[in-house]
Chains A and B, each alone.
Chain A
Amino acid sequence: MTDYLDGEMQGEALKTVETHLAQCSACRQFVEDLKQAVATPFKEAEEKTPSERVWANIRESILQEQLKRKPAVPERLLDFLGRVFQPKPLAVLVPVMAVILLAVFLPLQSPVQKYEDAGIYLVQELGITGDSDYFESDIENGGLGTVVEEFFM
């Protein structure tokens, strides 16, 4: 009966029901009562309208949602800076450690090595050698020959 009432019955089944109803007044009455009880009252139901505050609440929720999606400029700026300066473990740590190690170990070069480097510089770049007159004593060249000079030289 449900399919018949809802217009979902087709073909042979529909023909059979219609033929029977045409002959049987009790069943016709039953179908009529059924319609009165389960269908007719609903046909006159009207569409209802929600109160105005429903839209006000929805609008408010949407605006809040939009604010969440687009944060204010200072907040976005802070967010951007935070992301820029956020430490990135390996990308930052490795170069920083390399700089620290260089800064610590480079000054530990031995003084002897430094003097040797200076000697090489003097000889190769300035052309000054041990034979140079620069280091000859005035004594040998007939310097002052004073006691003080001899003491310091």
Chain B
Amino acid sequence: MKEIPDVVLEEAAGGSLAAFEEIYKSASGFVYSVALRVIQDRADAEEVTQDVFIKVYKHLSSFESRSSFKTWLYRITVNTALNYTKKIQKERLRRRNDERILENQEVPAEAENRLDQEDKEKAVQVLLSTLNPDQRACIVLREIEGLDYAQIASALGINLNTVRSRLKRAREALMAQARKGVMKK
């Protein structure tokens, strides 16, 4: 995410739509990517992105520029995504299973010929799908966004030991998934 100048944040907080659009252009990719990886559904991730930016617009005037805008945005994004996930968990699970069936039917012809970005992205999605939403959020913030434990704890509103134990369990699950893959080959 590009750094957003304080003056842009202040103008947006004052109600400037042009300034807010600038914030959106700088941060929407980051918000959407985090939401997509936690939720694992494009339409839902777009809805969460929408919710996140409307929340940001409404509360920007109360945001203190002394703290990091990025950390604040992480917190809103991850919490909105997790709440959304919990709300629609059953529905999403059913849909994802349907998509997986479709994916399994489509993949073989292409997969062996090329290892392009789409395949890597699919691998990421498959790995993340083995985790529960809380573990997923931790892994996304740690491995993709590069946050340290203290930043993850702050973004998720949990303590350091909880971050540590969620990452540990997530990695155990990912290792188990990797072993399964090796055994299949």
Contacts and interface: CB of A to CB of B under 8 A. Distances in A.
| A and B assemble together | yes
A57 B50 contact: yes
B171 A2 contact: yes
B137 interface: no
Where chain B touches its partner, the secondary structure class is: helix
Contacts of A6: 142, 148-149, 167
Interface stretch (B17-25, B78-86, B98-106): B17-25
A8 interface: yes
Interface stretch (A35-43, A111-119, A123-131): A35-43
Count class of interface residues, chain A? 35 or more
Contacts of B175: 33-34, 37-38
A125 B123 CA distance: 113
Number of chain B interface residues as a range: 35 or more
23 contacts: A33-B175, A37-B171, A38-B139, A38-B174, A42-B143, A44-B120, A48-B33, A48-B36, A49-B28, A50-B28, A50-B46, A50-B49, A51-B46, A54-B28, A54-B49, A54-B50, A55-B21, A55-B28, A58-B54, A58-B57, A61-B50, A65-B58, A66-B15
B30 interface: yes
Given A37-B174, A54-B50, A59 B17 contact: yes
A50 B27 CA distance: 11
A38 B169 CA distance: 11
Contact of A42 (B29, B49, B144, B148): B144
A55 B30 CA distance: 14
Nearest to A3: B164
Contacts of A44: 117, 120
B54 A62 contact: yes
B84 to A, nearest CB: 15
A43 B57 contact: no
A46 interface: yes
Contact of B50 (A37, A38, A46, A58): A58
Contacts of A51: 46
Interface string B150-162: 0000000000000
A3 B149 CA distance: 9
Given A48-B36, A57-B50, 9 more contacts: A3-B164, A5-B171, A34-B171, A36-B178, A45-B144, A51-B46, A58-B57, A63-B17, A66-B15
B8 interface: no
Given A2-B164, A65-B57, A48 B120 contact: no
Contacts of A54: 28, 32, 46, 49-50
A45 B124 contact: yes
A47 interface: yes
A59 B53 CA distance: 10
A45 B121 contact: yes
A2 B49 contact: no
A33 to B, nearest CB: 7
B168 interface: yes
B62 to A, nearest CB: 15
